[in-house]
Amino acid sequence: MRRVPRVLIVEDESSIAELIAVNLRHNGFAPIWAMDAEAAQRELDSVLPDVILLDWMLPGSSGLALAKRWRSDPRTKDVPLLMLTARTDEADRVSGLDAGADDYITKPFSTKELLARIRAVLRRRAPAPVDGVVRIGELVLDAATHRVTWQQQPIKLGPTEFKLLHYFMQHPERVHSRGQLLDKVWGDHVFIEERTVDVHVKRLREALGAASAMIETVRGAGYRLTALATGVASAGPEAQP
């Protein structure tokens, strides 16, 4: 029997939570409602959901603070998280994405769009059927074992950062626009903003540490992975075109 995806709704307005829950149930999801940070944490401690819908404005701890807490916790850091908020300013969107949100949905929202975005983050979380080793200088990615090393030292990456690095390493020295990266790494859909790419490139660079210089920003064009920044050359047979 197919497992029903669990969606944790963290929302203090019962009317909004009930509307979301009804639509989720009718579309094959199992909603769980928590009205504040304390209740949400109890639900997470009990069973990890497949997706979290998190309101920004909550009694007590804000949704922004919760997102940062959950992203810093190894147990919850990879759970897809969509932030729901009435805040529409670009600065707020950036803050939400920087806090760890995978998507940012402003109120009022269409329930059809919300469902589409939930399905989109679940598709992105699903492991891609890839295998093989890609090597750019001393940076090595093994897709089969989901391991990355730099100078033989392990590097820990989240699932999106891993897919982003894998794509970069499969296409070294090429400039990729944010739109191209969204299509190739996140999937060909219209819901994710290009700003999301910048957030995940920032996380990728932070994780790469000394190898971060390999990810170059090409002003007005996008991003490029290059071996030239570290003075190394691409390896031969294992490197993929």
Compute how many other C-beta atoms are within 10 angstroms of the C-beta atom of residue 155: 20
Answer whether 83's CB lies under 8 Å from 67's CB.
Answer: yes
The average confidence (pLDDT) of the chain is 83
Express as a percent the part of the chain with pLDDT over 70.
87
| φ, ψ dihedrals at 30, nearest 5° | -115, 100
| φ, ψ dihedrals at 101, nearest 5° | -70, 140
Compute how many other C-beta atoms are within 10 angstroms of the C-beta atom of residue 61: 14
pLDDT at residue 57 above 70? yes
Q: Dihedral, CA atoms, 37, 39, 44, 45, nearest 10 degrees?
A: 110
31: preceding bond cis by omega (within 30 degrees): no
Nearest to 154 by CA among 199, 233, 230, 209: 209
Residue 192: pLDDT band with limits 50, 70, 90: low
pLDDT at residue 103 above 90? no
pLDDT for the residue 125: 64
Residue pLDDT, tens place only, 162-172: 999 999 998 88
Dihedral sign for Cα atoms in the order 184, 190, 194, 196: negative
Ranges 54-68, 185-199, 201-215, most confident: 201-215
pLDDT for the residue 4: 83
Answer whether 147's CB lies under 8 Å from 139's CB.
Answer: no
pLDDT at residue 173 above 90? no
pLDDT at residue 235 above 80? no
Q: How far, in whole angstroms, is CA 49 from its chain's centroid?
A: 16
Q: Dihedral, CA atoms, 189, 192, 195, 197, nearest 10 degrees?
A: -60
Answer whether 215's CB lies under 8 Å from 205's CB.
Answer: yes
pLDDT at residue 194 above 70? yes
**H-helix or E-strand spanning residue 147:** strand 147-150
Instruction: Enumerate helices (H) and strands (E) in the chain, giving the number of each.
Output: 8, 11
Residue of 92 and 181 predicted with greater confidence: 181
Tokens at residue 13, please? 């307005």
Residue of 34 and 101 predicted with greater confidence: 34
The total number of residues written for the chain in this structure = 241
Residue pLDDT, tens place only, 78-89: 888 998 887 777
Q: Worst-scoring range by mean pLDDT, 26-30, 48-52, 118-122?
A: 118-122
pLDDT for the residue 25: 94
pLDDT for the residue 213: 92
Residue pLDDT, tens place only, 131-144: 588 999 899 999 88
Answer whether 159's CB lies under 8 Å from 121's CB.
Answer: no
DSSP structural state of residue 221: T
Residue 126: pLDDT band with limits 50, 70, 90: low
Q: Worst-scoring range by mean pLDDT, 103-107, 216-220, 236-240?
A: 236-240
Residue of 188 and 90 predicted with greater confidence: 90
pLDDT at residue 55 above 50? yes
pLDDT for the residue 191: 58
